[in-house]
Amino acid sequence: MRELTFAIEYDPGADPIMDVFAAYPSLTAHSLDGVIAADQFWRIERFSGPAAALSRIEEVRFDDDTCGEAITETRCGAARFHDTLERSTNGLVLYTHLDAIRGCESVHTLAGTHLPSGVIFQTRRRGSAHWWRLLMRSDDRIGVFYDDLSARLREGLSFRMGHLRDADGWRQESLAGTALSEPQERALRAAVAAGYYDPPRETTLDDIAADLGIPRSTLSYRLRRAESALLHGYVDDTTPDRWLE
């Protein structure tokens, strides 16, 4: 499998979705997208940020008169379906399906036109940038896709190339959150339930290890591994520029 990465930067006022990110600097999003055909794709996107920013994202996404897909001057005509899968104080998960796309060009439609079928997209958004990773069976016609994409960007959008290489780092945690081993998760859940991470600390590692029936050293090791995985997952999520390296 091959991997292509790039980023598109947006000037203020150039895109209604990206304007929300510009207005709320702490707002972030990551998505998993799939192209079904040149005129059809789906996306699941998870947003994290202030409640006001999430409400604005929902307003823009559910407004059929607003297009957040086109990279050219022409607005996308399509049969749109959006649904809120999850909503919390600082989190939002949206499902999107666009069908019968016509009259516009987007990253998805250009990939559907030029690249082999079965392309998967992983994206990140923050501030003025939208980062993309494409997972492909091969890089046939990748030059045509790259030339078409970079040449067709409308005013206010700019392109930054990352890399083209064998796919790397598409772990489970990249697609569906950070993955912990069963012992690590059991240890972490026990520590959280016992109040180990609450100030003031309500328990000790000795107490939790005794409850789990394992040595203190084993518990400490599992917690360190779990904490490391979670912290790296968080930092990786908030520094998508690394994709371009």
Where do you find CATH 1.10.10 in the chain?
A: 177-237
d(CA 211, CA 237): 34
The sheet that has 120-126: what strands, in order across it? 77-87, 91-102, 40-48, 28-37, 120-126, 129-136, 2-10, 157-166
User: Looking up tokens 């307003």, which residue turns up?
Assistant: 59
CA atoms within 13 A of residue 30's CA, in its CB half-sphere:
14
Identify the three-state secondary structure at position 183.
Answer: helix
Classified as helix, coil or strand, 100 is strand
109 secondary structure, DSSP code = H
Name the pTM for this structure.
0.75
What is the pLDDT tens value at each position of the chain, 245 positions in all? Answer: 999 999 999 999 999 999 999 999 989 999 999 988 888 899 999 998 999 999 999 999 999 888 788 898 887 888 889 999 999 888 999 999 989 888 778 999 899 989 988 899 999 999 999 999 999 988 889 999 999 998 889 999 999 999 999 987 665 444 345 567 789 889 999 999 999 988 888 899 999 999 999 999 999 999 998 888 777 766 655 566 666 76
Half-sphere exposure of 195 (CA within 13 A, CB side): 6
177-237 in CATH: which number? Answer: 1.10.10
Q: Which neighbouring-strand residues pair with 166?
A: 2
